[in-house]
Amino acid sequence: MPTFTERNEVPEQEKWNLADIYSDLNQWEEDYRKIEAMTDSLKKYDGNINDGQSLYQYLKLSEELSFLFGKLYAYAMLKVDENTRETDPQAYLERAKQLSVKISAATSFFMPFLLGLEEATLKGYIEAEKGLKYFGEDLLESFRYKAHVLSKEQEAVLSQLGEALSVPGHTFGMINNADIKFGEVTGENGEKIELTRGMYSKLIEDEDREKRKEAYKAYYKPYLQLKNTIASTLSAAIKNNVTTARLRQYPSALEKGLFGDKVPKEVYENLIRTTKENIGPMHQYTKIRKEKLGLEELHQYDLSVPLVSGVKQVISYEEAFETMRKALEPLGKEYIQILDTFKEGRYLDVRETPGKRSGAYNLGVYGVHPYILLNHQDDLDSLFTLVHECGHGVHSWLSSKHQPQITARYSIFVAEVASTVNEVLLINYLLKTEKDPDIRKHLLNHFIDQFKGTFFTQVMFAEFEKTTHELAEKGVPLNVDVFSQTYEKLFREYNGNEIVFDDEVKYGWSRIPHFYRPFYVYKYATGFASAIHLATKILEGDNKTLTAYLEFLKSGSSDYPLELLKKTGVDLSTPEPIENALERFTELVDELAQQ
């Protein structure tokens, strides 16, 4: 695997080309000045929108500003992520953030103004001004919130409380990212060293069981020490959410959380119920894991170690890209051509270099193209990451090409569908073409663990959120004991009785940042299940599903997420897509059992 000590050593073809956004910083500065002027112009509309024409002019200017700001911000962010140690890009990003605050302040009058209009008045404006037809659906969509908007005075008070209401999440972030010091583990030469998160993710997969146990105990140590403090922040976050839902007259905190995507609570409940009705194979997998590892007792620190030792495939970036092309052939020629454009046009930033942002992401820049950040390590995980991020990238590319700016961005609810369909096609291709029994077993294990993490674990988290919010709504005080009892009970229900429960297990809730962004994690599970359902149909040669799926990728946010999925044949208000996905999980577990 090539290693690079500096970014300039990386071949040009493996670095993204930011000149597609701005060829030089003068252009960035020019747009910055334009946006400042446009922001001042937008501000002048406060109190001066009184007919269809002025409303249209405001919205048109606002969209033009949004287009320029999208490019401006993306360029600065991507420059920072190339090398987080350089201070110049950080200064540009900071300026972009400050500009964002100015834009928000200048346009903050608009939503209260809009919701203050009578619906008949707004429809009259749209009728009178032809240009408003483009914005019409978006404007009327805002009226869905009207029942949940308070009086101007109350909104002003809530807005001032906004910062205070976000304190629990912010406090947890500071504890979790800045203050927590993990316990010590034994280093290579027997010396004691402080554990880091990066080390933990590697050590928890180590074949040496003592190393796993030591890392596990060290990792949980600060969470156990801070359990009362963290319980207090989580309790406050949940109570804030429940109180806000009440003030805004939502039937429950859950329904407030689902409102934006227009998802009925029955979809959320159906996900949990159908998963628990089909939980048997998950318990069976835990049992198989215990047998394959030859353990008398299975502990939580045994749940991530690969079941096949010594399988270390070296997969170069070139080979990974070629494998992806072959695996995704069922999606058709146009899809593969788009991927080739990504590579040839340098939309991807491939290599890890000192200071580069870790992890991977896709960022769609409207009017330009997607940018994909990778840190390719020439291994199986990197192959899956490439395929995953390119799924997001093609979704961004097609939606931007086929949708106007107003509906080009797809919602988080459907985002994981495109990436997971790709992963399912990849695992299917690898299992079909791989002859080595150990590698096949390793692939099965890899995909089952991904299924467990993206689906079962997220459904368990979703149920934890639902239960704790309902307790708060009933006035039950939330504390360490309530959180721990709830979490331990759910962990048992989802993972089965083969696991010996160390004290740490029940404190799992204390380390989950997503709990401060309520009713979000279920989207991973619905997206994953939808993708399994679609990929299975595509692999069966169902052309109707393939055509509908490619249309879905072009749809952006032109409809509500559930409606977009329904057009592909996935109806999440029924158990069918969840059951189909769990059937596939059963097949994978059965195949692993026979290896």
State whether residue 29 is helix, strand or coil: helix
Taking Cα atoms as reference points, which of 297, 292, 285 lies closest to residue 308? 292
Residues 362 and 371: beta-carbon distance below 8 Å: yes
3-state DSSP percent of the chain in helix, strand and coil, to 5: 70, 5, 25
CA separation for the pair 80, 361 (Å, rounded): 14
Contact 195, 184 (CB under 8 A): yes
CA 412 to chain centre: 7
Cβ neighbour number for residue 504 with a 10 Å cutoff: 18
Q: Point out the catalytic residue in the list 14, 82, 214, 389.
A: 389
**CA pair distance 400, 424, nearest whole angstrom:** 25
531, 413 in Cβ contact below 8 A?
no
Distances (CA, A) of 515 to 169, 234, 251, 512, 518: 9, 8, 20, 6, 6
Name the burial class of residue 554, with classes exposed (0-12), middle (13-18) and buried (19+) by CB atoms within 10 angstroms of its CB: middle
Closest Cα partner for 31 from 74, 89, 87?
Answer: 74
DSSP, residue by residue, 381-412: HHHHHHHHHHHHHHHHHHHHHHS-GGG-SPPH
Between CA 422 and CA 428 the distance in angstroms is: 10
Task: Give yes or no: 389 in active site.
Answer: yes
Continuous segment of H or E residues that includes residue 78: helix 52-82
d(CA 150, CA 116) in angstroms, rounded, equals: 11
Can you tell me the distance from the alpha carbon of 459 to that of 521, in angstroms, rounded to the nearest whole number?
Answer: 8
Question: What residues act catalytically?
Answer: 389
